[in-house]
């Protein structure tokens, strides 16, 4: 009996040991073996074509790793995205490339290998691609950005020349009096005179208290419609987007300015795309702008906030808490719009933007007061005086610069105004009148071409 029991005990012990060893091995393998990775999900694809560059955005639920390279004959950009499976949203990218895109012919999308999606951009010309990621901000999740810049960047002055808006000699006298005439009271006509044209009536009204002007060169004005592209700006209750409203007003103002033979205009953006703040300033300097006017339609936490405002740069801090809040909000546009920090020379930009002078701010205040007075004729003013704060977009060291808040898009009544063609036209006309009155009292000095 004891022997029989002994014999049966051995296999039980052996089985137990094998079971424990197997269990331990399984546990060890489960710890060492990589867990199955969760494939990233593409949530949205967007394309922003412009003459400056084309941006392609892939919004996703996690940070993505990429490898990219260029291929010649024909020109192509190849991008491999790791940790990604092809999904219907990503396939939508193919249809989003339009025939009028300046730099992309088409894009092909495919599963190159397990967990790797390949994008092939067939290009219209050589590009200098910037591929980078953006951390979540605002309502955006993670974003993978492809910025396709042309190797031969467009020259803003060359663009104005093509449009017939730039003379070879910037000092060549121009008929400034035709744009801002000094109209003297005329004696009663002996014979019935022809009715005054609307333009002549406007000239009389605007020159009532102005002195004769002695300007012998063209005036260049940089208009800066705020936000654009990935950055919609403020959004009204009815869904109106600041970036659309201010571009419409800027286009109207551009047309009005160009009616005068001595004035020309450069838009920092003429379509729906993102322009970094320092690039807006640099664009104005490249065309030797005499003025810089940034156009906005902001929002506030209270929908009752209303009225138009004008801001200029401050060297010593904001003139009010609201002005500081607004400047901080506008300066965050680069984060929302998406700046490639790795290639952006922040130190150089900082040096440039710190060169703003007291003289520039004083001239900006004069321009701001002239424009604000005209805005008060068409809309209630949020503040009766020009305000100051540290707006990055106003820091051109040699250009009088103002930021115009046309109205509060967060106020339902003012949102309706901002989307009304007649009000947009009135707003553009008021800004133009302010600009003309500024130049009537502060004629621009002659200056040489900037190298």
pLDDT tens figures, 89-118: 999 999 999 999 999 999 999 999 999 999
- What is the helix (H) or strand (E) element at residue 176, kind and residue range? helix 176-179
**The pLDDT value given to residue 203:** 41
Average pLDDT of span 28-37: 43
Question: Which residue in 81, 139, 77, 71 sits closest to 105, CA to CA?
Answer: 77
- Please check whether residue 252 is in contact with residue 223, taking contact to mean a CB–CB distance below 8 angstroms: no
Q: Which residue has the higher pLDDT, 300 or 323?
A: 300
Question: Which residue in 273, 263, 329 sits closest to 293, CA to CA?
Answer: 263
Non-local (6+) Cβ contacts of 67 within 8 A are 79, 80, 82
**The pLDDT value given to residue 380:** 94
Model confidence pLDDT, tens digit, residues 277-322 = 999 999 999 999 999 999 999 888 788 889 999 999 987 777 777 8
Report the alpha-carbon distance of residue 381 to residue 407 in Å, rounded.
9
The pTM of the full predicted model, rounded to 2 decimals, is 0.78
- Please check whether residue 140 is in contact with residue 151, taking contact to mean a CB–CB distance below 8 angstroms: no
Q: Which residue has the higher pLDDT, 124 or 155?
A: 124
Question: Which residue in 51, 410, 411, 407 sits closest to 249, CA to CA?
Answer: 407
Query: What are phi and psi for residue 263, nearest 5 degrees?
Result: -130, 140
Mean pLDDT over each residue of the chain, to the nearest integer = 80
Average pLDDT of span 32-53: 78
Q: Which residue has the higher pLDDT, 418 or 179?
A: 418
Report the alpha-carbon distance of residue 214 to residue 250 in Å, rounded.
28
For a pLDDT cut of 90, what percent of the chain falls above it?
58
Average pLDDT of span 184-206: 39
Report the alpha-carbon distance of residue 226 to residue 418 in Å, rounded.
14
**The pLDDT value given to residue 314:** 87
**The pLDDT value given to residue 165:** 54
Instruction: Identify the weakest region by mean pLDDT among 171-185, 340-354, 396-410.
Output: 171-185
Cβ burial, residue 130 (10 Å; 0-12/13-18/19+): middle
Secondary structure (3-state) at 264: strand
- Four-point Cα dihedral 387, 392, 398, 401, nearest 10: -40
Neighbour-count burial for 76-95, b at 16+ CB within 10 Å, e otherwise: bbebbbebbebeeebeebee
Cβ of 451: how many Cβ atoms within 10 Å? 3
**The pLDDT value given to residue 164:** 59
**The pLDDT value given to residue 8:** 43
**The pLDDT value given to residue 444:** 80
**The pLDDT value given to residue 38:** 63
**The pLDDT value given to residue 59:** 96
Question: Which residue in 376, 390, 220 sits closest to 312, CA to CA?
Answer: 390
**The pLDDT value given to residue 447:** 59
**The pLDDT value given to residue 331:** 81
Q: Which residue has the higher pLDDT, 157 or 185?
A: 157
**The pLDDT value given to residue 40:** 84
**The pLDDT value given to residue 20:** 44
In this structure, the chain runs to a length of: 451
Average pLDDT of span 408-418: 95
Q: Above 50 in pLDDT, residue 2?
A: no
- Please check whether residue 408 is in contact with residue 380, taking contact to mean a CB–CB distance below 8 angstroms: no
In angstroms, how far is the first alpha carbon of the chain from the final one? Answer: 110
Residue ranges of domains in the chain, CATH in brackets: 42-150 (2.60.40.3500), 156-186+197-441 (3.40.630.40)
Q: Above 50 in pLDDT, residue 45?
A: yes
- Please check whether residue 104 is in contact with residue 120, taking contact to mean a CB–CB distance below 8 angstroms: no
Cβ burial, residue 319 (10 Å; 0-12/13-18/19+): middle
Q: Which residue has the higher pLDDT, 301 or 353?
A: 301
**The pLDDT value given to residue 162:** 63
Report the alpha-carbon distance of residue 146 to residue 117 in Å, rounded.
15
- Please check whether residue 112 is in contact with residue 80, taking contact to mean a CB–CB distance below 8 angstroms: yes
For a pLDDT cut of 70, what percent of the chain falls above it?
74
Non-local (6+) Cβ contacts of 361 within 8 A are 312, 313, 314, 315, 388
Q: Which residue has the higher pLDDT, 31 or 142?
A: 142
Q: Above 60 in pLDDT, residue 345?
A: no
Non-local (6+) Cβ contacts of 352 within 8 A are 278, 281, 282, 395, 397
Model confidence pLDDT, tens digit, residues 250-274 = 999 999 999 988 899 999 999 999 9
**The pLDDT value given to residue 163:** 61
Beta bridge partners of 405: 296, 309
Which range in 155-159, 208-212, 397-401 is most confidently predicted, on average pLDDT?
Answer: 397-401
Instruction: Identify the weakest region by mean pLDDT among 126-135, 425-434, 440-449.
Output: 440-449
């Amino acid at each position: 009996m004891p022997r029989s029991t002994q014999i049966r005990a051995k296999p039980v012990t052996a089985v137990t040991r094998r079971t424990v060893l197997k269990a331990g091995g399984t546990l060890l393998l489960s710890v060492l073996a990589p867990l199955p990775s969760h494939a990233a999900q593409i949530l949205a694809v967007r394309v922003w074509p412009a003459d400056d560059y084309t941006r392609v955005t892939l919004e996703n639920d996690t940070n993505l790793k990429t490898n990219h390279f260029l291929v010649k004959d024909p020109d192509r950009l190849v991008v491999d995205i790791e940790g990604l499976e092809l999904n219907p949203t990503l396939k939508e990218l193919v249809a989003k490339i339009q025939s009028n895109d300046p730099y992309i012919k088409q894009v092909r999308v495919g599963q190159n290998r397990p967990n790797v999606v390949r994008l092939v951009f067939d290009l219209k010309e050589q590009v200098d691609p910037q591929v980078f990621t953006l951390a979540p901000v605002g309502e955006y999740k993670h974003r993978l950005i492809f910025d396709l810049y042309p190797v031969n960047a467009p020259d803003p002055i060359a663009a104005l020349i093509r449009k017939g808006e730039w003379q070879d000699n910037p000092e060549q006298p121009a008929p400034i009096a035709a744009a801002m005439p000094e109209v003297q009271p005329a004696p009663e006509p002996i014979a019935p005179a022809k009715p005054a044209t609307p333009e002549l009536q406007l000239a009389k009204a605007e020159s009532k208290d102005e002195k004769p002007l002695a300007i012998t060169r063209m005036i260049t004005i940089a208009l800066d419609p705020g936000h654009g592209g990935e950055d919609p700006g403020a959004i009204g209750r009815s869904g109106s987007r600041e970036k659309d409203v201010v571009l419409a007003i800027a286009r109207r103002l551009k047309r009005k300015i160009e009616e005068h033979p001595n004035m020309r205009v450069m838009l920092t953006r003429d379509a729906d795309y993102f322009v970094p703040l320092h690039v807006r300033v640099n664009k104005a300097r490249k065309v030797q702008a005499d003025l810089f006017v940034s156009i906005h339609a902001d929002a506030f936490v209270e929908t009752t906030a209303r009225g138009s405002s004008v801001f200029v740069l401050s060297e010593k801090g904001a003139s009010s808490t609201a002005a500081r809040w607004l400047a901080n909000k506008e300066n965050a546009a680069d984060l929302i719009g998406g700046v490639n920090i790795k290639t952006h020379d922040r130190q150089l930009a900082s040096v440039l933007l710190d060169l703003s002078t007291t003289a520039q701010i004083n001239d900006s205040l004069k321009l701001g007061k002239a424009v604000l007075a005209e805005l008060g004729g068409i809309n209630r003013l949020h503040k009766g005086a020009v305000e100051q704060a540290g707006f990055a977009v106003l820091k051109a060291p040699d250009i009088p610069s103002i930021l115009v808040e046309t109205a509060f898009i967060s106020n339902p009544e003012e949102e309706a105004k901002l989307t009304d063609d007649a009000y947009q036209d009135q707003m553009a006309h008021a800004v133009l009148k302010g600009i003309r009155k500024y130049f009537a009292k502060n004629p621009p000095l002659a200056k040489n071409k900037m190298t």
